Amino acid sequence: MGLIQYMEVHPKVDLISRTVMVAAGDMFHFCLIFIIFFAILAWLAHWSFGPDKIMFSTFRIAANTCF
């Protein structure tokens, strides 16, 4: 919290910090939905191509390949 208070010293940086604080809730929900959607796609890639392709053989490797 101290960094955000320090950012309020300059007006233009204050605008950025206020924008981030206002958008924090929306950014959290976007990231949550993105992570869930990405995990589903990585699992589908692992499930579909895992037996045949080494790049999708495990969920971790499939997620890394999809990223």
Asked whether residue 58 carries a pLDDT value surpassing 60, the answer given is yes
Q: What is the pTM of this model?
A: 0.68
Asked whether residue 65 carries a pLDDT value surpassing 80, the answer given is yes
Asked whether residue 45 carries a pLDDT value surpassing 80, the answer given is yes
What is the tens place of the pLDDT at every residue in 1-15? 566 666 667 778 888
Amino acid type, 38: F
Amino acid type, 44: L
Q: Please state the three-class secondary structure of the chain as a single string.
A: CHHHHHHCCCHHHHHHHHHHHHHHHHHHHHHHHHHHHHHHHHHHHHHHHCCCCHHHCCHHHHHHHHC
Count how many domains the chain has.
1
38 alpha-carbon distance from chain centroid: 9
What is the tens place of the pLDDT at every residue in 13-41? 888 888 888 999 899 999 999 999 999 99
31 lies in which domain range? 2-66
